C-alpha cells in the first residue's frame, strides 16, 4: 500500500503553518488521468444550459464563501486581504461571464457553390467540440482567478480538467474546486494534481492522456513545457517587463497614481506590473520629483492591513529582487526611495538613472522595484521596449493622442494601454503575450475557443 506524502504550507508573512496538500505520486496522477479520460465524453453530451447552470452555482458558492476564501488566499500568498477578496469576487464574475458567453458562440455555415465548380447540393456547418482532458497549470499570484480562468472555459466547452495549482496557493485552489464540487460537479470532472512542479511537472505535461495545456507562469517553465508536451494545443501566459513610456506630465496626479499602483500593486508580483519607465530626459527630473513623495505614501505591512506592499512570496524571490537592486546601484543607479529589506519584505524601491547595462532594465523582478530609464527620444524608448525578451503589455502616457497612436502600433507587445497602467483585467478582454511573454491568447472568448475545436459537418443532398 503506497503511503501518501504531503507538503506542509506556511504563510509567507508569518511562517504560520496553514495546512497540507498531498504530494501526488505518478500512480495517483495516472489514476486521475484515467478518470479524466473516461468522464469527459459523457460530460460533452450535456447541454450548454446544464454546464452553464453548474458554473452559475459554482460562482454563487464563491460569493457566499468569499470572505473565508479571501482570508485563506491572503494568508497563503501574502496578498492584501482587500485584494484577495476582490480576486474571489472577480473570479465569480469571470465564471458567470464564461457561463453566459459560451451560450452565444455560433459555428459557421458554408455553401459548396461558394467555391468555383462547387455544388449547391453540398453544404457544411461547424460546431465547437471539446478537446478532451485539459491540463490547467496556474501560478501563485492569482491562485483562484487564474485557475478558474482555465477551469471554467474548459468545462463549458465539454472538457474534463486536471488542475495543477501552484504549490504556494494550492490551499486556495482546493477551496476553489470545493465550491465547484458543492455546486454539483460530476465526479472526477475536475481533479487536483497537487505536488511540486519540479517533481511531477514533467510527468503531467508529457502524459498521453492530456489533450490540451493551459499554462500560466514563468518563462523558464513555459518554455520547458512547450518543448516537452508534444503535438497538443497549448496556451502560455508567461513573464513580462511592461514599460510605461512617459511623453509629458499631463494630469500629473493621475499619472503618478497609475504608475504607483501599476508598479507596486501586490508588491509588484503581477505579470502586468509596470516594470520600467522610459521618460524623455527634459521631463525626467520633474517626474522623479513627482514620484518620490508618492513612494512615501505607499502602504506597507502585513496582508491583513491591506497594505499595497507586503512580504514577498518567499525569501528566494526577495533575494532575486535585492540582487537586481544591488546590481543597479553598483553600476550607478540612484536610489530615490527604498532599498530596505527585512527577510522577505522589501520596501518599495524607486531607482533613477537606470541604464541598459543594468539587469533591472531587462529582467522581471516580480517584486516592488521600479527603474526609471531616461531616454533622449521616443525612438530610443521604442527601441528599448522592443529589444526586451518580453512582449506582454506596455503603457503610453501623454496628452497628444496623435503622438500616442503613432507610437502604439510600433511596440512589440500584446496590449498597449493608453493613459492607464498595464493590466489583464477586465477578464473578457483578449490577453496575450508575444516573444517570451507567451503563446496563444486568454480572455473569456479566446479561452473558450482555445479549449475547443471546430468540428465540420458536410451535408450532401441528392
Ligand atoms: P512558476 O514558478 O513558473 O510556476 C507556475 C506553475 O507551474 C506552478 O503551478 C508550478 O508549480 C508549476 N510548475 C513548476 N515547474 C513545473 C514543471 N516542470 N512542469 C509543469 N509545471 C511546473 O511561476 P510562479 O512563480 O507561480 O508565477 C510567477 C511567474 O508567472 C512570473 O514570471 C509571472 O510573470 C508569471 N505570470 C504570468 C501571468 C500572465 O498572465 N502572463 C500571470 C501570472 C504570473 P509549483 O508551484 O509546484 O512549482
Ligand atoms: O500576473 C497576473 C496577471 O494576470 C495580472 O492580472 O488584472 O492584475 O493585471 P491583473
Q: What is the DSSP string of 44-59?
A: TTS-HHHHHHHHHHHH
Instruction: Give the count of beta carbons closer than 10 Å to the beta carbon of residue 51.
Output: 21
Q: What is the pLDDT of residues 405-437, one digit of tens each?
A: 999 999 999 999 999 999 998 999 999 999 999
Q: Which residues line ligand 1 (CB under 6 A)?
A: 137-141, 146, 164-167, 196-198, 201-202, 205, 216-218, 221, 224-225, 237-240, 271, 364, 366, 392, 424, 433, 438
Catalytically annotated residue among 24, 76, 87, 237: 237
**For the whole prediction, is pTM greater than 0.85?**
yes
Please state, in angstroms and rounded to a whole number, the distance separating the CA atoms of residues 189 and 83: 29
Q: Which atom of ligand 2 is nearest to the CA of 145?
A: 4
Question: Cβ(394)–Cβ(416) under 8 Å?
Answer: yes
> What residue ranges of the chain have pLDDT lower than 70?
none
Catalytically annotated residue among 24, 76, 87, 271: 271
Give the sign of the dihedral formed by CA 346, CA 350, CA 354, CA 356: positive
- Exposed / middle / buried, residue 94 (Cβ in 10 Å: 0-12, 13-18, 19+): buried
Atom 15, ligand 1: residue with shortest CA distance: 197
Please state, in angstroms and rounded to a whole number, the distance separating the CA atoms of residues 157 and 154: 5
Nearby residues of 316 by Cβ (< 8 Å), 6 or more positions away? none
Tell me how far the alpha carbon of residue 288 lies from the centroid of ligand 1, in angstroms. 33
Please state, in angstroms and rounded to a whole number, the distance separating the CA atoms of residues 441 and 219: 16
Atom 9, ligand 2: residue with shortest CA distance: 423
Q: Mind giving me the DSSP string for 88-136? A: HHHHHHHHHHHHHHGGG----EEEGGGSTT--TTEEEEEEEEE-SEEEE
Residue 379 Cα distances to 66, 154, 259, angstroms: 47, 42, 21
Instruction: Give the count of beta carbons closer than 10 Å to the beta carbon of residue 47.
Output: 8
Tell me how far the alpha carbon of residue 53 lies from the centroid of ligand 1, in angstroms. 31
Which pLDDT score is estimated for 3?
A: 85
Which pLDDT score is estimated for 230?
A: 87
Instruction: Decide if 237 is catalytic.
Output: yes
Q: Is the CB of 267 under 6 A from ligand 2?
A: no
List residues bridging with 418 in a β-sheet. Answer: 396
The three cell numbers of residue 444 are 473569456
Nearby residues of 1 by Cβ (< 8 Å), 6 or more positions away? none
Query: Yes or no: is domain 243-431 CATH 3.40.1550.10?
Result: no
Nearby residues of 386 by Cβ (< 8 Å), 6 or more positions away? 410, 411, 412
410-447 exposure pattern, b = at least 16 Cβ within 10 A, e = fewer: ebebbbbbebebbbbeebbeebbbebbbbbbbbbbbbb
Kindly give the interhelix angle for 81-101 and 66-77, rounded to the nearest 10 degrees: 120
Please state, in angstroms and rounded to a whole number, the distance separating the CA atoms of residues 157 and 448: 7
Which of these, 341, 320, 342, 323, lies nearest to 331 by C-alpha position?
323
Instruction: Decide if 271 is catalytic.
Output: yes
Question: Cβ(421)–Cβ(74) under 8 Å?
Answer: no
Atom 4, ligand 2: residue with shortest CA distance: 424
Atom 32, ligand 1: residue with shortest CA distance: 218
Q: What is the CATH number of domain 6-238+437-460?
A: 3.40.605.10
Question: Cβ(274)–Cβ(245) under 8 Å?
Answer: no
Max Cα–Cα distance, the chain, nearest Å: 80
Torsion of CA 370, 375, 378, 379, to 10 degrees: -110
Q: Which atom of ligand 2 is nearest to the CA of 273?
A: 9
Which pLDDT score is estimated for 188?
A: 98
Which ligand does the CA of 317 lie closest to? 1
Which of these, 420, 440, 55, 25, lies nearest to 259 by C-alpha position?
420
Residue ranges per structural domain of the chain: 6-238+437-460, 243-431
Amino acid at each position: 500500500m503506497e503511503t501518501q506524502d504531503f507538503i506542509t504550507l506556511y504563510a509567507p508573512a508569518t511562517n504560520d503553518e496553514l495546512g497540507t496538500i498531498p504530494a501526488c505520486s505518478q500512480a495517483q496522477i495516472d489514476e486521475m488521468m484515467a478518470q479524466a479520460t473516461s468522464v469527459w465524453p459523457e460530460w460533452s453530451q450535456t447541454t450548454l444550459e446544464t454546464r452553464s447552470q453548474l458554473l452559475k452555482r459554482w460562482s454563487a458558492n464563491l460569493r457566499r464563501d468569499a470572505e473565508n476564501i479571501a482570508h485563506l488566499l491572503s494568508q497563503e500568498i501574502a496578498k492584501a486581504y482587500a485584494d484577495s477578496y476582490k480576486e474571489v469576487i472577480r473570479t465569480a464574475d469571470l465564471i458567470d461571464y464564461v457561463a453566459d458567453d459560451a451560450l452565444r458562440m455560433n459555428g459557421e455555415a458554408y455553401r459548396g457553390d461558394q467555391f468555383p465548380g462547387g455544388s449547391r447540393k453540398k453544404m457544411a456547418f461547424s460546431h465547437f467540440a471539446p478537446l478532451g482532458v485539459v491540463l490547467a497549470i496556474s501560478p501563485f499570484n492569482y491562485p483562484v482567478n487564474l485557475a478558474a480562468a482555465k477551469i471554467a472555459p474548459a468545462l463549458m466547452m465539454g472538457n474534463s480538467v486536471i488542475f495543477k495549482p501552484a504549490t504556494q496557493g494550492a490551499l486556495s485552489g482546493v477551496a476553489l474546486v470545493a465550491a465547484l464540487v458543492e455546486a454539483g460537479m460530476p465526479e472526477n470532472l475536475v481533479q487536483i494534481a497537487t505536488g511540486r512542479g519540479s517533481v511531477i511537472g514533467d510527468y503531467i505535461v508529457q502524459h498521453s492522456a492530456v489533450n490540451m495545456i493551459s499554462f500560466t507562469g514563468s518563462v523558464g517553465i513555459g518554455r520547458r513545457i512547450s518543448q516537452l508536451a508534444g503535438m497538443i494545443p497549448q496556451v502560455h501566459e508567461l513573464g513580462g517587463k511592461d514599460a510605461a513610456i512617459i511623453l509629458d506630465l499631463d494630469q500629473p496626479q493621475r499619472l503618478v497614481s497609475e504608475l504607483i499602483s501599476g508598479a507596486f500593486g501586490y508588491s509588484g508580483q503581477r505579470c502586468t506590473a509596470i516594470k520600467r519607465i522610459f521618460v524623455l530626459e527634459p521631463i525626467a527630473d520633474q517626474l522623479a520629483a513627482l514620484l518620490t513623495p508618492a513612494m512615501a505614501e505607499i502602504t506597507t505591512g502585513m496582508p491583513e492591513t491591506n497594505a499595497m506592499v507586503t512580504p514577498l512570496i518567499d525569501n528566494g524571490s526577495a533575494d532575486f529582487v535585492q540582487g537586481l537592486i544591488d546590481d543597479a546601484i553598483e553600476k550607478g543607479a540612484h536610489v530615490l526611495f527604498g532599498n530596505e529589506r527585512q527577510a522577505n519584505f522589501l520596501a518599495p524601491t524607486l531607482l533613477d538613472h537606470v541604464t541598459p547595462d543594468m539587469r533591472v532594465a531587462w529582467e522581471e523582478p516580480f517584486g516592488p522595484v521600479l527603474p526609471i530609464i531616461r531616454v533622449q527620444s521616443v525612438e530610443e524608448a521604442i527601441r528599448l521596449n522592443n529589444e526586451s525578451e518580453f512582449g506582454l503589455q506596455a503603457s503610453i502616457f501623454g496628452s497628444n493622442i496623435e503622438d500616442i497612436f503613432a507610437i502604439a502600433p510600433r511596440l512589440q507587445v500584446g496590449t498597449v494601454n493608453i493613459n492607464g497602467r498595464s493590466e489583464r483585467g477586465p477578464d473578457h478582454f483578449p490577453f496575450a503575450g508575444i516573444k517570451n511573454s507567451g503563446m496563444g491568447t486568454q480572455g473569456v472568448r479566446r479561452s473558450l475557443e482555445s479549449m475547443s475545436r471546430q468540428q465540420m459537418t458536410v451535408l450532401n443532398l441528392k
